[in-house]
Amino acid sequence: MTPEHGDYPELHVGHPKRQAVGPDAVVRTLEATVAKLGPARAARLLLDVNQDGGFDCMSCAWPDPGHRNALEFCENGAKAITWEATQLTVPREFWAQHPLSSLQDATEYWLGQQGRLVEPVYKAAGADRYEPISWERAFELIGERLNALDSPDEAAFYTSGRTANETAFLYQLFVRAFGTNNLPDCSNLCHESTGTALNEVIGVGKSTIAYDDFGKADLVIVMGQNPGTNHPRMLTALEETKRSGGSVVAVNPLPEAGLIRYKNPQKARGILGRGTSIADRLLQIRSGGDLALLQAVSRRVLDAEAAAPGTVLDRAFLDEHTVGLEAFAAHLADLDEVEVLRATGLTAEEIDDLAARYLAADRVIVTWAMGLTQQRQAVGTIKEIVNLLLLRGNIGRPGAGASPIRGHSNVQGDRTMGICERMPGEFLDALGREFAFEPPRAHGLDAVDTLHALRDGRVKVFVALGGNFVGAISDTVAAEAAMRGARLTVQVSTKLNRSHVITGEEALILPALGRTEIDVQGSGAQFVSVEDSVCAVHASHGSIPPVGDDVRSEVAIVAGIAEATLGDRHGIDWAGMVRDYDVIRDHISRVVPGFEHFNDDVRRRNGFVLPNGPRDSRTWRTASGKAHLTVNRLEPIEVPPGRLILQTLRSHDQFNTTVYSLNDRYRGIRKGRDVVFVHPEDLAERGLADGDRVDVVSEWPGEPDRVLPAQRVVAYPTARGCAAAYFPEANVLVPLGSTAIGSNTPVSKAVIVRLERVG
């Protein structure tokens, strides 16, 4: 076997690192980029990234500071840019040499290494390989298949969060003009729990802070997030918190390198000195224990108020701006401390300490990512963050707020543009008015429900604007079986991945320009725009020539599909929008609130910031017009004897399902991904040792076991009772039926598993 098939004979396990970034990373980044792209292209790209007039880095949704450095990128951003800007392309012979049946075991790593896709290809029904096809025929074919469906609801249109605002708007317009709200997206697998919770309790599903707030906070609580790998530039913001006297508490089952110590690569101090120690305290929580922790901290805040009435809570704020305090306090009065300690795996002292820090701080920010959102009680947990913040008025003033840190670079913008299976009525009204048609009103399918519908034959055509649906979604075996049942699958992509190999009866791959590339249309070079984690919208201009002559922009591809499918139905001028993206922006300015002067605002240096009621004026678009303190039932994860709670996470050298290398430097892993991280005492209890091989077996009531075979056990300082393995490989273990209450997001961070020794 070769690495192509996911067996890693050279796997090496060393010690985890206690520090992130630093000079080492910068040198590696530059060397690797220059080696892959050549000095001229590398310099062009790295000088343009995240600069005014340049392109937006696609590696995460971390915001840009108002005062940008000359080099505003990070090691992992450079990997993403290099991966996209490679000049290696998939040659035409590739398809002749690789029937689909020969690619079934290929790893994501190997597929991604084949280079950029540069021509449209088609797999006919019954055929075992893709063959080149013209763009016109490809569009026609999609139109024919879509129009042959009994109902528009028999098609689903997925979006991954790299899609820019203009493309996203056009895409949802096409889908709704076609007649369905089946717009599942990667957000369904990501921050859906956040949007669901925040919309309900504060009236907006987004962050309530601005970039500069980090430097003003007295305390930042970083929950369920690994910024050193996934949002490296956030470490600079946390460094600012520390330098202005604030403290940082990390809540995480793992002692992630970036949370412990950070060397800022952009400052001499970072290069020469010891760096900044980031987290003043790390609470190594048991996976899924955050709701209990937050309730226990709020309980301590309420107890402190009871002990010294009038001194702890922000009464004026609570009276004017919130509802629900009494019920919330009554609920927490019954909080069972024994249950809390069991759910969190923490000591009472650790929780007391966090409560004391919260009470001592005037301004508190809580940030979070996938460790919280991909849990069964994710929505309740995020509502508890808001409860805790509201108690002392920590929303809507400087240095304080709730801050989900988004994943994909424009996942937030895609939602703003209408990529959502259940957009609010006002949005649909405005869309219908602008384009003189009646958008469908019935809610569409989210990602998990799309899979159910594919499996049951209710969805027959699946179109994906970017991403890797079968690689990213839970329950790989079920997902792949469902996808194979489709009549037609269409992938608009930059590079090969699993979703090109697992196809419907007929399949198309349409190669798209990436964000680094210059996009010339009828009216000249175009730019697009994106929205970051703190609601700032700015332009992104391509820097380098397109990788091939026959690669089209996503806008042009979406419009091509729309024209071929709808003809002149609704009289929408698709060609005019492709010719000049300003025309799309003008439409957006009349449909999406906050974008009224889009074409002017987006051309300003640093773009513009969208209005945000809670942040700007403490206004709340909720049912009551106030912020809601809510009651959430604590239901600790029940772990049967001998089992562990497994989380699936990212290595340092991957972007979601894209695997850049087989290393995970900060965790000490090299040349392999077939590992499972387990606490040494949990290993000892099972008679296992570091280096053993085990099958990781996931258990779900009433269903056969799911197995990730032959993983090398790594003794690792995770929280007791917890384990970790890499996504996407470990997706095979996540049951399709295991989703978060209220958001339907797969519970990728808490899978009940047992370990079975092999060999």
Ligand X SMILES: Nc1nc2c(c(=O)[nH]1)N[C@H]1C(S)=C(S)[C@@H](COP(=O)(O)OP(=O)(O)OC[C@H]3O[C@@H](n4cnc5c(=O)[nH]c(N)nc54)[C@H](O)[C@@H]3O)O[C@H]1N2
What residues line the site for ligand X (CB under 6 A)? 59-60, 76, 160-162, 186, 189-190, 223-226, 229-231, 251-254, 256, 285, 287-288, 290, 369-371, 374-375, 407-408, 465-469, 472, 492-495, 497, 512, 514-515, 554, 647-650, 654-658, 727, 730-731, 734, 748-749
Largest CA distance in the chain: 77
Instruction: Please tell me the distance from the alpha carbon of residue 365 to that of residue 633, in angstroms, as a whole number.
Output: 24
Question: Residue 500's closest CA among 92, 80, 108?
Answer: 108
> Which range touches Mo ion (CB under 5 A), out of 183-191, 247-255, 391-399, 741-749?
183-191
Question: Whose CA is closest to 227, among 270, 258, 191, 193?
Answer: 258
Q: Please tell me the total number of residues recorded for the chain in this structure.
A: 759
With CB under 5 A as the contact rule, which of the stretches 119-127, 333-341, 407-415, 594-602 interacts with Mo ion?
407-415
Of 159 and 264, nearer to ligand X (C-beta) is 159
Burial of 14 by CB count in 10 Å (0-12 exposed, 13-18 middle, 19+ buried)?
Answer: exposed
* Distance (Å) of CA 232 to CA 21, 226, 410: 8, 9, 17
State which residue has the least CB distance to Mo ion.
407
Q: How many CA atoms lie within 13 A of 123 on its CB side?
A: 27
Closer to Mo ion by CB, 447 or 555: give it. Answer: 447
Our CB check for ligand X shows the closer of 48 and 601 to be 48
DSSP code at position 519: E
Q: Identify the burial level of 422 via C-beta atoms within 10 angstroms of its C-beta, where 0-12 means exposed, 13-18 middle and 19 or more buried.
A: middle
Peptide bond into 16 cis (omega under 30): no
Q: Partners of 644 in the beta sheet? A: 753
Give CA–CA dist 669/229, Å, rounded: 14
Stretch that binds Mo ion, among 400-408, 441-449, 501-509, 531-539 (CB under 5 A): 400-408
Interacting partner of 224 out of ligand X, Mo ion, none (Cβ under 5 to 8 A depending on kind): ligand X
CB 497 to Mo ion: min, Å: 16
Structure tokens at 317: 């704020």
Nearer to Mo ion (CB atom), residue 472 or residue 556: 472
Kindly give the interhelix angle for 348-360 and 290-307, rounded to the nearest 10 degrees. 60
- Closer of 60 and 683 to Mo ion (Cβ): 60
In this chain, which of 65, 407, 607, 735 binds Mo ion, going by CB under 5 A? 407
All residues at 6 or more sequence positions from 344 whose CB lies less than 8 Å from its CB, including other chains: 283, 285, 286, 289, 290, 292, 293, 296, 351
Asked if residue 649 binds Mo ion (CB under 5 A), the reply is: no
Q: Is residue 396 part of the contact set for Mo ion (CB under 5 A)? A: no
Query: Which of ligand X, Mo ion, none does 113 bind, CB closer than 5 to 8 A by kind?
Result: none
Q: How far is the CB of 21 from ligand X (least distance, A)?
A: 12
Distance in angstroms between the alpha carbons of the first and the last residue of the chain: 18
What's the closest the beta carbon of residue 285 comes to Mo ion, in angstroms? 21
Nearest CB to ligand X, comparing residues 381 and 565: 381
Structure tokens at 666: 């900060």
Strand partners, 557: none
472 binds, among Mo ion, ligand X, none (CB under 5 to 8 A by kind): ligand X
CB of 501 to ligand X, least distance (A): 11
Q: Per the structure block, which two tokens stand in for 191? A: 């921050």
Least gap, CB of 392 to Mo ion (angstroms): 30
Identity of the residue, 117 or 537, whose beta carbon is nearer to ligand X in the bound complex? 117
Closer to Mo ion by Cβ: residue 329 or 649 = 649
Q: 323 vs 369, which CB is nearer to ligand X?
A: 369
Q: What are phi and psi of 518, to 5 degrees?
A: -70, 135
Q: Find out whether 198 and 404 touch, Cβ atoms under 8 Å.
A: yes
49 binds, among ligand X, Mo ion, none (CB under 5 to 8 A by kind): none
Which tokens hold the place of 217?
């906070």
**CA–CA gap between residue 148 and residue 144 (Å, rounded):** 6
Residues 572, 173 contacting (CB under 8 angstroms): yes
- In the complex, the smallest distance separating the C-beta of residue 208 from ligand X, rounded to whole angstroms, is 19
Q: Which is nearer to Mo ion, 589 or 658 (CB)?
A: 658
Nearest to 718 by CA among 228, 282, 261, 223: 282
Pairing between β-strand 644-649 and β-strand 751-757 as defined by DSSP bridges? antiparallel
Rounded (10°) angle between helices 325-333 and 290-307: 100
The stretch among 126-134, 402-410, 525-533, 681-689 that binds Mo ion (CB under 5 A) is 402-410
Instruction: CB nearer to Mo ion: give 21 or 190.
Output: 190
Q: Which is nearer to Mo ion, 20 or 447 (CB)?
A: 447
- Min dist CB 287 to ligand X, Å, is 4
Q: How many residues bind Mo ion (CB under 5 A)?
A: 2
Pairing of strands 322-323, 627-628: parallel
Residue 731 binds which of ligand X, Mo ion, none (CB < 5-8 A, kind-dependent)? ligand X
* Smallest separation, CB 9 to ligand X (Å): 25
Q: Per CB under 5 A, does 440 bind Mo ion?
A: no
Contacting Mo ion (CB under 5 A), which of 60, 78, 190, 390? 190
| Residue among 515 and 643 whose Cβ is closer to ligand X | 515
- Nearest approach, Cβ of residue 498 and Mo ion (Å): 17
The one of ligand X, Mo ion, none whose footprint includes residue 60, by CB under 5 to 8 A per kind, is: ligand X
Distance CA 634, CA 630 (A): 12
Q: What minimum distance in Å lies between the beta carbon of 497 and ligand X?
A: 4
Q: How far is the CB of 423 from ligand X (least distance, A)?
A: 19
727 interface partner picked from Mo ion, ligand X, none, CB below 5 to 8 A per type:
ligand X
Q: Closest CB to ligand X among 208 and 225?
A: 225
Q: How far is the CB of 230 from Mo ion (least distance, A)?
A: 9
H runs (alpha helix) in 38-91: 39-48, 75-85
Q: Is 578 in the site for Mo ion (CB under 5 A)?
A: no
Residues 251/224, Cβ–Cβ less than 8 Å: yes
**What distance in Å separates the CA atoms of residue 547 and residue 555, rounded to the nearest whole number?**
17
E strand or H helix at 655: strand 654-655
Shortest Å, Cβ 627 to ligand X: 23
Tokens 């690569």 locate to 265
> What residues are paired with 488 via a beta bridge?
461, 506
Q: Out of ligand X, Mo ion, none, which partner does residue 444 contact, by CB within 5 to 8 A per kind?
A: none
Smallest gap, in angstroms, from Cβ of residue 272 to ligand X? 26
Q: What residue 645 binds from ligand X, Mo ion, none (CB within 5 to 8 A, per partner kind)?
A: none
164 and 558 in contact (C-beta within 8 Å)?
no
Q: Which stretch binds Mo ion (CB under 5 A): 405-413, 429-437, 580-588, 731-739?
A: 405-413
**CB of 180 or CB of 647, closer to ligand X:** 647
Least distance in Å: CB of 298 to ligand X? 16
> Where along the sequence are the contacts to Mo ion (CB under 5 A)?
190, 407
